[in-house]
Amino acid sequence: MKRFMLCLLVFLLALTPSMAEDNMESLRVVGVSGDEFIWRFQADNGQIIYFTSREAEPFIQYQDINFDGIDDLVFLPATGAGNTYYTFFVNLNGKYERVFLMGHENDAACNFQLYPDQQLLSVSVSHGAAGALCEKVLFRWGGNNLLPVRRMVSE
């Protein structure tokens, strides 16, 4: 078993550089604004998308977040000790459109969770005191915007 795991690790390490090279062709820094990098990303459809991130190597994932069966784009612009922030671009008619969280203080979805059966998305922000100070918001999709359905605040 140990030998198998070692062989698997060596194989994965050998793949890592080529995968990183493919990603770097579609992703690059084009500027800096304060403490954030300005990134240029070429999506799978050829569309150029710009986003900001505090991360030196931002996480990008294709995932269906609006429950239409088509993969959308999820970017990770910032992560901290208890909160991870995400920026969304939904695929509408073959073009990626920026998602706005209506009534939310910023357009980054913190610690998001999907509820496909209910067609809902939740965000939760920890403001301290081991999570006792927090805010949770439940959103429903309205086009490429997220509309708040319920909000809970613990202060």
pLDDT digits (tens, 9 = 90+) for 100-145: 888 666 668 889 999 999 999 999 988 777 657 878 999 999 988 9
SS3 101: strand
For residue 25, the model assigns a pLDDT of 63
| Residue, of 65 and 56, whose pLDDT is higher | 65
| Residue, of 72 and 25, whose pLDDT is higher | 72
Predicted TM-score (pTM) of this structure:
0.76
What is d(CA 148, CA 139) in angstroms, rounded to the nearest whole number?
4
Widest CA span of the chain, in angstroms? 54
For residue 3, the model assigns a pLDDT of 53
Amino acid at 121: L
Torsion of CA 29, 54, 75, 28, to 10 degrees: 10
pLDDT above 70 (res 23): no
Tokens of residue 47, six digits: 């569309």
In which element (H, E) is residue 100 found? strand 100-101
Contact of 37 with 29, CB cutoff 8 Å: yes
Contact of 91 with 62, CB cutoff 8 Å: no
Tokens of residue 35, six digits: 């403490």
Q: pLDDT band for position 154 (50/70/90)?
A: confident
